[in-house]
Amino acid sequence: MINTVVVIEEGIGAFSLGFAAAGFQVTDAFVKDKRALDIYKNNIDGRIYEATLMELSPKEITDADIIAIDMMQMFPFRNSRRDLHQSTQFNKEPLKKVAEIIQQKNPLIFFLAMQKKMYKDSALLDILNEISHMGYHSNFKVLNSMEITGAPVTEEQLYVIGSRMSDYPYEFPIHMDKEETIPIRKFISSVEEDGWYYRINRDEIVESSKEDRFLCWRKDKYIECPYVGWNLIKKPLVRVNGIIRKLTHKEMAELKGFPRNFDLNISNKEWLYRMLVYAPNVLLVKYVAENLAQTPLRKLQISNDQKFSQIFKSYLQQKGGEIKRIAEYDIELDFAYAYRDLTVYFALKFYSSDFSVKQNLYKACKRLSKRRENTDCIVLAVANIVPTEVKEVCKLKYEIDIWDVKNFLWLFEEFIKIKNEFVAFLNYSTEIIEPEKPEPYIFDEIEKEPEEGGLKEKLLQIKSGSEQWHQYEKVCIEILKYILGDYLTLWYEQENTVNGMYRFDLCCKIKDGANQDFFNTIQQYFNTKYVVFEFKNYSEKITQKEIYTTEKYLYEKALRRVAIIISRKGADENALAAIRGSLRETGKLILCLSDKDILELIDIKQRNEQPTGAFLGAMLDDLLIHLEK
């Protein structure tokens, strides 16, 4: 599950880019300007609507885990220190509207960005006090872009985070100041710009050196500054190689954390300059949002894109070569991979549903195509099934190669553990998917024989008893991913129920389209979508005590009515009687597997003579046929 975000007053996309870079899914965005909407559509996937905060009815906002509102343009911008100390009565209506939306939509978290001048303002404090009565704990902090991103820009923004999760009052992460500021030349274009940028009044400029410098307006003149500061009227200048000109919109965007290939419509320069000045810093949004990933929203699992990246990088490391990081401000590419004399740049995508995948891939390839001039090869790695015709269009039109699930199944065949992890990670069955060799194939032809799993040996080497319970659990999960990975997904390990009373070892979700009799039966007749697993490294058979404990984890309204207990020697007679009693009286199904059963399931999988689910189906048949009144 990817945490969902709705963005209001989006501007040209800073919030959406920041949240996406932090691993969130922006489901809807609302902007107040058609020009901003067009820029957003040209660069960012997802639904976007033209509507302002004040126009929106809460009913028009889809449900989401997080509601994020960019309030940078809600109050007048100031350009002098004197203005910062002036007492001003702000219009409270936007803040009241925020409170109304939070009250009616009741998100788990609200996320606001606004200008520094609102820090501890009475209007903001009053609204936060009102929101606190709705059950939210709020925190706010002024963050400095240069301290966090290293970009040479003097910019401070106020972030306000509220959470209604009683066990999670949001705390801003402690950050370390960047040891060095990124040099000016990293952000400055070497291409000769439009003549508009060179129209300056040199009488307003005071130069004290010949070094590369920003020149910013102070009182009545431009003076040299090591860092750029924004001014809505007097645009900042830059001197490079002795030539002075206005800072370009693309350079401003990069200083704000937008990717280098972000497509800006520069036809209206004054409007775009204003939008960039007010835009939150993308990397700052990412920095704050990343800490939300540590909330209970995500503690059950690594987000899908991170898990996919982890699996793919494991494969690349096994193949040799070197994985290289991409510059922090590049949010299109994930990493570079040097193999032999070739460097390949990878962008990774995982779509949780098939909704608009085709259109999203075309947009992603269009953006990536702008990076080809600086790279040897770009591959878009997608953990979904991509139709052949889509791959062909992306290759012919954008010169971007796509590797999809069929290609990864072919590649990972060489390393059985990685393949098992990948198959178990997917939320659908791969039984009928035919593996295909990827193009381009960048590796040497098979350098070694596919490795053996050695799962039987791992299991048999573990000694019974409390000392090696964790090793037993770990190996059992690895085996389950091998024998049942095509039917189950999610794989939440060591989870507590919300009230903390119960803790089960593993919970898996039955994959959509897992067309196998046992899993079809438990979904249809036991009303279950999730299966609980318990692992007992006991030297003796488990007793009815373990059955009664496991039974407490099963709950109909949670679609969790089936459990499987794996132990060294299986269940004793009293435990089997308790299993029958639970099924008869509560309709909860508990199956017990021994090491002997697990070894047999490994054999079934290796022989590929019948589905491994059929073994569990036979156990269920036996239990139901012999169930007494």
Rg of the chain over CA atoms, in angstroms? 29
Q: Which residue has the higher pLDDT, 571 or 23?
A: 571
Q: Look at the alpha carbons of 504, 505, 510, 515 in this order and tell me if their dihedral is positive or negative.
A: negative
Q: What interhelical angle do 613-625 and 517-525 show, nearest 10?
A: 50
Give the global pTM: 0.57
Q: Does residue 501 surpass a pLDDT of 60?
A: no
User: 509 and 489 in contact (C-beta within 8 Å)?
Assistant: yes
Q: What are phi and psi of 565, to 5 degrees?
A: -105, 125
Q: What is the set of domains in the chain, with CATH numbers?
A: 4-171+281-292 (3.40.50.150), 184-268 (no CATH), 304-425 (3.40.1350.10), 455-625 (3.40.91)
Q: Which residue has the higher pLDDT, 429 or 274?
A: 274
The SS3 of residue 407 is helix
Q: Does residue 435 surpass a pLDDT of 90?
A: yes
Q: Does residue 72 surpass a pLDDT of 80?
A: yes
Q: Please write the tens of the pLDDT for every residue from 121-168.
A: 888 999 999 999 998 988 899 998 888 888 899 899 999 999 887 656
Q: How far apart are CA 132 and CA 415, in angstroms?
A: 52
User: 402 and 467 in contact (C-beta within 8 Å)?
Assistant: no
Q: How far apart are CA 61 and CA 30, in angstroms?
A: 9
Angle at 114 between CA 110 and CA 116, to 5 degrees: 130
pLDDT band at 46 (very low <50, low <70, confident <90, very high): confident
pLDDT band at 499 (very low <50, low <70, confident <90, very high): very low
Select, from the ranges 186-195, 291-300, 419-428, the one with the highest average predicted confidence (pLDDT).
419-428
Contacts of residue 37, Cβ cutoff 8 Å, sequence gap at least 6: 31, 48, 50
pLDDT at 376: 66
Q: Which residue has the higher pLDDT, 253 or 170?
A: 253
pLDDT at 513: 77
pLDDT at 341: 85
Q: How far apart are CA 367 and CA 17, in angstroms?
A: 13
Closest CA to 6 of 28, 23, 30: 28
**Order of strands, sheet of 243-246, starting from the edge strand that comes earlier in the sequence:** 205-206, 221-225, 213-218, 237-240, 243-246
Residue 440: is the preceding peptide bond cis (ω within 30°)?
A: yes
Q: Which residue has the higher pLDDT, 386 or 86?
A: 386
pLDDT at 244: 92
Q: Please write the tens of the pLDDT for every residue from 118-133.
A: 887 888 999 999 999 9
pLDDT-above-70 percentage for the chain: 88
Tokens of 24: 């969130």
Mean pLDDT of 215-233: 91
When mean pLDDT is compared across 37-46, 148-157, 220-229, 493-502, the lowest value belongs to 493-502
- 338 strand-pairing partners: 322, 343
pLDDT band at 110 (very low <50, low <70, confident <90, very high): very high
Question: Which amino acid, residue 249?
Answer: H
Angle at 293 between CA 290 and CA 297, to 5 degrees: 150
Q: Does residue 247 surpass a pLDDT of 60?
A: yes
Spacing of C-alpha 303 from chain mean position: 5
Q: Which residue has the higher pLDDT, 85 or 206?
A: 206
When mean pLDDT is compared across 50-54, 296-300, 541-545, the lowest value belongs to 296-300
Q: How far apart are CA 562 and CA 90, in angstroms?
A: 57
Closest CA to 398 of 369, 374, 377, 376: 369
Environment class of 301 (CB within 10 Å of its CB; exposed 0-12, middle 13-18, buried 19+): middle
Contacts of residue 534, Cβ cutoff 8 Å, sequence gap at least 6: 504, 505, 506, 546, 550, 563, 564, 565, 566
Q: Which residue has the higher pLDDT, 354 or 418?
A: 418
Question: Which amino acid, residue 503?
Answer: R
Closest CA to 206 of 221, 217, 227, 219: 221
Q: Which residue has the higher pLDDT, 363 or 410?
A: 410
Closest CA to 476 of 578, 300, 597, 311: 597
User: 36 and 72 in contact (C-beta within 8 Å)?
Assistant: no
Tokens of 382: 């997608």
3-state secondary structure 484-524: HCCCEEEEEEEEECCCCCCEEEEEEEECECCCCHHHHHHHH
Q: Which residue has the higher pLDDT, 574 or 194?
A: 574
User: 446 and 410 in contact (C-beta within 8 Å)?
Assistant: no
Q: Please write the tens of the pLDDT for every residue from 267-320.
A: 889 999 999 999 999 999 998 888 775 554 444 434 677 788 989 999 999 998
Mean pLDDT of 447-473: 81
User: 43 and 366 in contact (C-beta within 8 Å)?
Assistant: no
Q: How far apart are CA 322 and CA 316, in angstroms?
A: 8
pLDDT-above-90 percentage for the chain: 52
Q: How far apart are CA 33 and CA 11, in angstroms?
A: 8
pLDDT at 75: 66
Q: Does residue 80 surpass a pLDDT of 60?
A: no
Tokens of 200: 């300056």
Q: Which residue has the higher pLDDT, 15 or 429?
A: 15
Closest CA to 11 of 36, 38, 47, 35: 36
Q: How far apart are CA 395 and CA 399, in angstroms?
A: 4
Task: Report the mean per-residue pLDDT for the chain.
Answer: 86
pLDDT band at 375 (very low <50, low <70, confident <90, very high): low
Mean pLDDT of 379-384: 94
Q: How many helices (H) and strands (E) does the chain have?
A: 21, 22
Tokens of 398: 């954008």
| Length of the chain measured in residues | 629
Burial letters for 188-217: b for 16+ Cβ neighbours within 10 Å, e otherwise? beeeeeeeebeeeeeeeeeeeeeeebbbbb
Tokens of 605: 């999988």
